[in-house]
A and B are shown apart, each in its own frame.
Chain A
Amino acid sequence: MTSPRGRMIAGLMILPAALVFLAFFVLPLVRLVIAGGEGPDGWAGYGVALADARHLTSLAETLALSIAVTLATLVLGGIPGLFLARNRFPGRALLVSILTLPLAFPGVVIGFMVILLAGRQGLIGQVSQLLGGDRIVFAYSMAGLFLGYVYFSIPRVVLTVMASAEKLDPQLEEAARSLGARPWRVFRDVVLPGLKPALISAGAITFATSMGAFGTAFTLATRIDVLPMVIYTEFTLGVNLAAAAGLSLLLGAVTWAALALARSAAGAGVAAAG
């Protein structure tokens, strides 16, 4: 439909969405950038905020956490995802359901479940006390956050890996076997390279989500200083708009870059699947 009339119709159909986007995304972001520069230090406020030691520590901690979550989730979600895509056995559908159900759970609920598991009255604490030791409580620390982030990231990875595994060409693996490769070799030389785009894509999404997650940290109380929490406290308690704005933009830039990587990896994956 590349006729002029066709183009006009296409444009008209996109218009409402474009207006929504403009009014509630572009405009606010621009205002955010400007507001950040309206503080006592003016535009230099951004520089001050980004150089602040506390903020940099928070950024580093958030990065480290997100990377750890990504790696853990790729393994804990990738292996079951591949396994479920390739094997048939009674109960398989149930396992797939369970693994992908938490896909849209809000962070607060997951934070709550972490408290149920590892909080002061938590299951793990009770078990450890029963076993004679101290009551183990780690919900309110980075460990609890890590647990929660892994929890809500696994469904996304499982889904992505399963979809990708289903598109792998079985003849490639048969060819490798015909040349003498044992199962581990076939996995390493054929399956893993075939899954690479999906793994990169899922990993990048996990990373981006972990960087920007707020609800879970919020529920697990204020001792944890991940970047979104710092932004929140700067805004509500510190009323430091420049810091909040600057850090928000920084966070947005990092997550956007990660997702851009995910999209390009997924695009390249079309060729690699055979």
Chain B
Amino acid sequence: MTVPIRLDACAKHYGATRVLEPLDLDITAGETVVLLGPSGCGKTTTLRLIAGLEVPDPGGRVRFGPRDVTDLPIERRNVGMVFQSYALFPNMSVAQNIGYGLKIRGVATAERRRRVGDMLDMMRIAELQDRAIGQLSGGQRQRVALARAIAVKPDVLLLDEPLTALDAKLRESLRVEIDSLLRGLGITTVYVTHDQAEAMALGDRIVVMSKGRIAQIGSPRDIWFAPADRFVAEFIGTTSPLPGEIAGGILTVAGATLPWAAGDGPVDVVVRPDAATLVGDGAGPGRLTATVRAAQFLGDRTRLAVTVAGDHLLTIDIGARETPAPGTTVTLALHPAALIVLARR
């Protein structure tokens, strides 16, 4: 039976360092929440608090539904955990690894074998049943680790950067698989990653963290289109914030002017690579001149590094067949709908 998770005022310090400021988090049953942030932001610490591998500082409480599990160590919380290094037991075969949690719970041998078989089929690794761990590839180990965590029918599923150790192509294909797996299982899941593409693909909600605090919680679209502050805006997607000013309903940034209804005063304008297009010379709303510094052909588009108005660097994606030479001057048109404007503090 899957449960909601609730963290109340959970903080953590090691020695004299505070790695997690008191945080509150509410996760609904069956939801997949992604903890996203750079290294050192506290996301793994938070995961370990939920898991029961760490105890929060006095005053913090962790609840699984109505149960207060704060004082329970991990072995009594009935969670399923996938570790960054997979942590598969080298002295056991694949089947024995997957069945280990069931063995601990005293499940009868016949039933255990059946469940392990189901897991092997679900992960499509039935042929690896008696293989030794050392003979498995990275992707195979991943599947075994997942199977082992799910086999015990946990209340909560916890994944600590499970795809970080794999190469890019494998990561992408496994991401899709994990996504459909999580949707099919419906277990409350907490997933830690520093890869924002992964977070956007897998999360029902994303918790962006920085320096031990929550910067923003929201759906992937919320985070992408409406970042709460400059940190979130810069962490998600490739962005180039430019200083600008709103006065009398007009937004001025890098030499371009646009009508802008809300807001007033100095702002940071977050420009994503898809927020501008190359246009012919000529005036118009949202147009600015830029000097091309470098043009990278990426297959499906050309990525330009340009400087605008006083040496601000901007990254803009344009059509794959357009090839402006470095050193030339071009005109860009900003799309008002794609701009993110944050009040400068």
List residues of A whose CB falls within 8 A of some B CB.
169, 171-172, 174-182, 185, 189-190, 193-194, 271-272, 274
Contacts and interface: CB of A to CB of B under 8 A. Distances in A.
A175 B104 CA distance: 13
Interface in B29-67: 51, 53
Given A174-B53, A193-B91, A179 B85 contact: no
B90 A178 contact: no
Interface in B88-103: 88-92, 100-101
Given A181-B104, A271-B134, A190 B149 contact: no
B90 A175 contact: no
Contacts of B51: 178
Interface in B153-170: 158
B327 interface: no
Contacts of B80: 178-179
Going nearest first, the 8 A-B pairs with the smallest beta carbon separation are A179-B101, A175-B87, A193-B91, A178-B81, A171-B87, A180-B104, A177-B75, A171-B83
Contact of A182 (B75, B90, B148, B158): B75
A26 B89 CA distance: 45
A181 B85 contact: no
Contacts of A189: 89, 91-92, 100
Contacts of A178: 51, 53, 74-75, 79-81, 149, 158
Given A175-B88, A189-B100, 10 more contacts: A169-B87, A171-B85, A171-B87, A177-B73, A178-B53, A178-B75, A179-B75, A180-B78, A180-B105, A185-B104
A175 B91 contact: no
Nearest to B73: A177
Contacts of A272: 90-91
A185 B106 CA distance: 13
Nearest to B91: A193
B7 to A, nearest CB: 18
Interface residues of B, number: 28
28 contacts: A169-B87, A174-B81, A174-B83, A174-B87, A175-B87, A175-B88, A175-B89, A176-B89, A177-B53, A177-B75, A178-B51, A178-B53, A178-B75, A178-B81, A178-B149, A179-B101, A180-B76, A180-B101, A180-B105, A181-B104, A182-B75, A189-B89, A189-B91, A190-B89, A190-B91, A193-B91, A194-B91, A271-B90
Contacts of B81: 174-175, 178
Given A169-B87, A171-B83, A193-B91, A179 B104 contact: yes
A273 to B, nearest CB: 8
Contact of A176 (B78, B84, B100): B100
Interface of B: 51, 53, 73-76, 78-81, 83-85, 87-92, 100-101, 104-105, 134, 148-149, 152, 158
A185 B92 CA distance: 14
Contact of B100 (A171, A179, A274): A179
Interface centre among A169, A175, A176, A194 (most CB of B within 10 A): A175
Nearest to B80: A178
B130 to A, nearest CB: 18
Contacts of A177: 53, 73-75
Contacts of B104: 179-181, 185
Nearest to A192: B91
A185 B100 CA distance: 11
Contacts of B152: 179-180
B25 to A, nearest CB: 20
B91 A180 contact: no
A230 to B, nearest CB: 42
A274 to B, nearest CB: 6
A274 B92 CA distance: 12
A172 B88 CA distance: 7
A194 B92 CA distance: 11
Contacts of A185: 104
A274 B75 contact: no
Interface centre among B53, B75, B152 (most CB of A within 10 A): B75
